[in-house]
Amino acid sequence: MQLTDFDYELPEERIAQTPMEPRNASRLMVLDRAQQSIEHRHFYDLKGYLQRGDTLIVNDTRVMPARLFGTRTTGAHVEVLLLKRIDRDRWESLVKPGRKARPGEVITFSENLSARVLETTDFGGRIIEFSYEGVFEEILDQLGETPLPPYIHEKLKDRERYQTVYAREQGSAAAPTAGLHFTKGQLKEIEAAGVHIGYVTLHVGLGTFRPVNAEVIEEHEMHSEYYMVSAETAALIRETKASGHRVIAVGTTSVRTLESAANDDGSIEAAGGWTKIFIYPGYTFKIVDAMITNFHLPKSSLVMLVSAFAGREYILDAYRTAVREKYRFFSFGDAMFIQ
């Protein structure tokens, strides 16, 4: 398939710059794959589309304050975005401007934090090793900023608004944004209605920032991200399936986690490790029965994923409808429920 098959026209003013208040006041487009229908609701209406015995699977990753600002030995300013922890002090990162951040270069962030560039990576990133005095996580919390996607130009007043209310496992360079719509009260109401909530972890990395450049999408290679499915969550999914109810993934990161952990026969056990799963039309879903997701960038791997789930023409028609109906797009934008 061609990359242009997943393009659509998006006016810049439709890109949400600030989060909705309250969180669940965002709009919700409901897609029914069987009926090929489109409904317009709000996220606080979600409970009406869930059934007793269903299971919501959420990604409990927490965004790191992963953007650091430092200086090279020449005095030039650089920005470092931490993507993935390799071991205790070594990180995979993006450095901007990166051309002169060659192996051996030292970047200083403060009196007690610096990093040495060890090597370049195949995607143009850098492996860096930190030197510091004290507890690294505490220093990072003091010096680092929450990284927002490049299409968001407004400064975030409260960095917790770029975290889900259930975020707990720190390790992401970006938020699993479909979960940003939930409030704690809404989740309690959903559980009280007999819907289960299960937790998985996928630490969002470079894939969020890396565009699909291959003109033939089958040639695109995803960057690896760490995921984990606990024995408790795997058991909950098996029970949900056995009772004839639905597993509903909150966000494409949860989709990719579940499908990475799934066996070919549709079963699932506790699993963890690194995944490079790339889901595009033609993929057979093994676990996910429905999903909640935001509206994604044109020609992105995430548009390909939802197209694989619901059909490319149906999804692109829904996106055109969303533009026409003035939905808000991307990380702080509105949501879709695809069933």
pLDDT for 122 equals: 74
Q: Locate CATH 2.40.10.240 in the chain.
A: 67-143
pLDDT of 141 higher than 70? yes
Q: What is the mean pLDDT of residues 319-328?
A: 98
Cβ partners under 8 Å of residue 4, min gap 6: 215, 299
Q: What is the mean pLDDT of residues 286-308?
A: 97
Rounded to whole angstroms, how far apart are CA atoms 21 and 2? Answer: 38
DSSP 186-216: HHHHHHHTT-EEEEEEE---GGGT-----SB
- Reported as a single tens digit per residue, the pLDDT across 265-286 is 999 999 999 999 999 999 999 9
Task: Quote the CATH superfamily of domain 3-63+157-338.
Answer: QueA-like (3.40.1780.10)
pLDDT for 150 equals: 87
- Reported as a single tens digit per residue, the pLDDT across 223-233 is 889 999 999 99
For the chain, the straight-line distance linking the first and the last C-alpha, in angstroms and rounded, comes to 25
Quick check: helix, strand or coil at residue 72? strand
- Reported as a single tens digit per residue, the pLDDT across 116-137 is 999 998 777 899 999 999 999 9
97: cis peptide before it, omega within 30°?
yes
**Residue with token string 């299409």:** 151
Q: What number of other Cβ atoms are within 10 A of residue 191's Cβ?
A: 12
Q: Locate CATH 3.40.1780.10 in the chain.
A: 3-63+157-338
Task: Kindly report the average pLDDT of the chain as a whole number.
Answer: 95
Q: What number of other Cβ atoms are within 10 A of residue 273's Cβ?
A: 10
| Contact between residue 251 and residue 292 where contact means Cβ atoms under 8 Å apart | yes
pLDDT of 208 higher than 70? no
Q: What number of other Cβ atoms are within 10 A of residue 6's Cβ?
A: 26
For domain 67-143, the question of CATH label 3.40.50.2020 is answered with: no
The first and second tokens of residue 112, run together, are 């007690």
